[in-house]
Chains A and B, each alone.
Chain A
Amino acid sequence: DGGITQSPKYLFRKEGQNVTLSCEQNLNHDAMYWYRQDPGQGLRLIYYSQIVNDFQKGDIAEGYSVSREKKESFPLTVTSAQKNPTAFYLCASRKTAKESYTFGSGTRLTVV
């Protein structure tokens, strides 16, 4: 079955270390997105990409970086510049402009 795979489900890192969250989709979707969710809050957009080798900043891009070298993959790096990286991170994808977004199961990042 097609879907979005986010790995790992739980991730622990020490403060000051960069960490990369994986997002892979086999849905042949063009657009991919990264969202951050804090406890009891809605989702906030970090970065998004409509096509390979192109991406745009979302509302809270500071301290994060992304790449889109392949259509299937959109990894997110949380850098040491991100002041409060502990959060739940969700990856999503979409085929065309009017279709629903498909979400992965998320990665819960804890920085200690």
Chain B
Amino acid sequence: AQKITQTQPGMFVQEKEAVTLDCTYDTSDQSYGLFWYKQPSSGEMIFLIYQGSYDEQNATEGRYSLNFQKARKSANLVISASQLGDSAMYFCAMREGAGGYNKLIFGAGTRLAVHP
């Protein structure tokens, strides 16, 4: 069964508008972490934001915020005031495993296109 589900293969947004990228996850662990990465066409993976399962506040990093709904097991990324440079693939990932022996499990990604 998929552990990270990103249901939107592609999204379009107008420049300066906000956009939400969906992510749901499946885990029986009490302690876990959720990440969002951006991958431009060059292929590098750029870390955007992190949410720990025990964090009470939703994470924010500049124009990025994470809408964390623990009961629904969702961790949606919100990008405010979209810019043309935001056009890229976006991946949701979950840290799985205990202590030092953990690993990142990725979703299939959402391709975001920002239009002028």
Contacts and interface: CB of A to CB of B under 8 A. Distances in A.
A103 B40 CA distance: 13
A97 B103 CA distance: 9
Contacts, number: 58
B116 to A, nearest CB: 25
Question: Secondary structure of the B side of the interface?
Answer: strand
Interface of A: 30-31, 33, 35, 40-45, 48, 50, 56, 58, 88, 90, 92, 96-98, 100-106, 108
Contacts of A104: 44
A42 B43 contact: no
Contact of A97 (B45, B50, B102, B106): B102
Nearest to B2: A42
A45 B104 contact: yes
A104 B2 CA distance: 26
Given A33-B104, A56-B101, A43 B44 contact: no
A50 B104 contact: no
A108 B42 CA distance: 11
Contacts of B103: 33, 45, 48, 58
B12 interface: no
> When A and B form their complex, which 8 residue pairs have the shortest distance between CB atoms, in order from nearest?
A103-B45, A42-B106, A43-B106, A106-B43, A42-B108, A100-B47, A105-B44, A50-B100
A97 B108 contact: no
Interface in B14-51: 33, 35, 37, 42-45, 47, 50
Nearest to A45: B103
A73 to B, nearest CB: 19
A101 B104 contact: yes
Contacts of B37: 103
A105 B47 contact: no
A96 B45 CA distance: 19
Contacts of B42: 105
